[in-house]
Amino acid sequence: MVLPLLTALTFAPFAWAYSTVREDAAYVQERVAPALGDLAAARVSLEIADQEAGDSLRAGRAVELSGLSERYRTRTTRATQRLNQVARSGALSTAERQDLDVVAGLVADYGTWTAWAQANAADRALREAALAYARSILCSAREEPGGIGEGGGTGEGGGTREARGTGEDGGTREGRGTREGRGTKGHRGCRPATGSDATAVVDRVTALERALQERFAGRAAAGAGVLAAFVVSGVAFLLLAHGSWRTQVFLHRRFRLYVSVPLLVAAVPLLALPVLAADAVLVQGAQGDAAATARALSHRTSPVIESAAENDPFRTPGRYVIAALEDAVDRELADGRLAFLDGAAVWVLPAGLLSAALTGGTLHAYRREYVRLTRTGAAP
């Protein structure tokens, strides 16, 4: 009864490995990738809103009547909506969800202090103090003046350099630039801090992005267990194919059968395994490509790029516009699989067990017939 055991050994590890690959791909596409896009959009929208608040409040008493700009209100609302979408995505752990709740509270406080600055716009000292405090809630540090604009900081994959900027309290802060400069002309973008200094909104959002990037990369990489399962299944598949051929030859010689139809039927599910294996390879490759694109959501997006796209909506979106990157990640994950195999993973193991049972029952019937013929002397 070697063939039934080989059949089970072929299908069982393959079913587990293939379902793991497919589940990881679905988790990344439906949860992690959208959450990364939402976090990037929230972070950039808040930085644009901060610039708009500063520009509006410079008008002094006039802003008390006209209010902060429409763009400020649109961007803060968009940031809040995006953060809510992250909370509903299911991509965050319990601790990360708590961190996101803190971010939401800080964003609300930022809006409160910005509104207070608007209400006291006629008093320059109160206005600037309120705006400075609001900005300290948003950013723990700012980009240095020389690093303003896209690419003004350290690029992805580039070296780091010391950055010294003036804090909102008038003092100086030191740190290392770790991402592209995010400011627009005349505005100093946020420079995220790490460790115990990471208390502001952008710091916390960046930390969440970093955690999701690691989760994306972990899911996109084929684990040792998955690879081992595919290897075991592949070896068992080859042994099973050889054993099935030898069995058909034996039955042809002993029973004068041209071919055993039940064994052929039992072997039909085996034909699907190479197709499923090819799909698994495609899915893994697509996840690797999508992970590289998703990294750009955290490292290459900036208020400069988003503002340019917003100001010229009819122009072809740039490579690092958030919406374009989100579409690219989704497209790479969707196109990198055989769509007609969606949902097939749950049927692999049942099909294998059914094939093993049919093989075992057929071989048992042939054995009984062979023993009967041998006892009567009819077998050659």
Per-residue confidence (pLDDT) for residue 14, from 0 to 100: 97
Residue among 224, 227, 233 at smallest CA distance from 14: 233
326 touches 280 (CB < 8 A):
no
Residues 310, 314, 315, 319, CA torsion sign:
positive
Q: Exposure of 277 by Cβ count < 10 A (0-12 exposed, 13-18 middle, 19+ buried)? A: middle
Higher pLDDT, 112 or 142: 112
DSSP 8-state class, residue 32:
I
Residue with tokens 């008008």: 59
Q: What is the pLDDT of residues 308-339, one digit of tens each?
A: 888 887 777 778 899 999 999 999 999 988 99
Model confidence over 118-154: pLDDT tens digits? 988 888 899 999 999 999 999 988 876 544 444 433 3
pLDDT band of residue 373 (cuts 50, 70, 90) is low
Mean pLDDT of 43-66: 85
Which H or E element spans position 173?
strand 172-176
120/114 Cα distance (integer angstroms): 10
Tokens standing for residue 276: 């499923």
CB neighbourhood size of 5 (10 A): 14
Long-range pairs for 208-212: beta carbons < 8 A, 24 or more residues apart? 208/39, 208/86, 208/92, 208/96, 208/99, 208/100, 208/103, 209/36, 209/39, 209/40, 209/43, 209/297, 209/298, 210/298, 211/96, 212/32, 212/35, 212/36, 212/39, 212/91, 212/92
Closest by Cα among 176, 146, 171 to 161: 176
Name the pLDDT band for 376 (thresholds 50, 70, 90).
low
| d(C-alpha 282, C-alpha 92), whole Å | 27
pLDDT of residue 247 exceeding 60, the answer is: yes
**Residue 112 pLDDT:** 95
pLDDT of residue 122: 85
> Among 58-72, 96-110, 123-137, 214-228, which is the least confidently predicted range?
58-72
Full-prediction pTM beyond 0.85?
Answer: no
Give the tokens for residue 272.
């699907």
| The pLDDT value given to residue 194 | 83
Q: What is the pLDDT of residue 375?
A: 63
Tokens of 212: 């999701």
Least confident of 151-160, 307-316, 344-353: 151-160
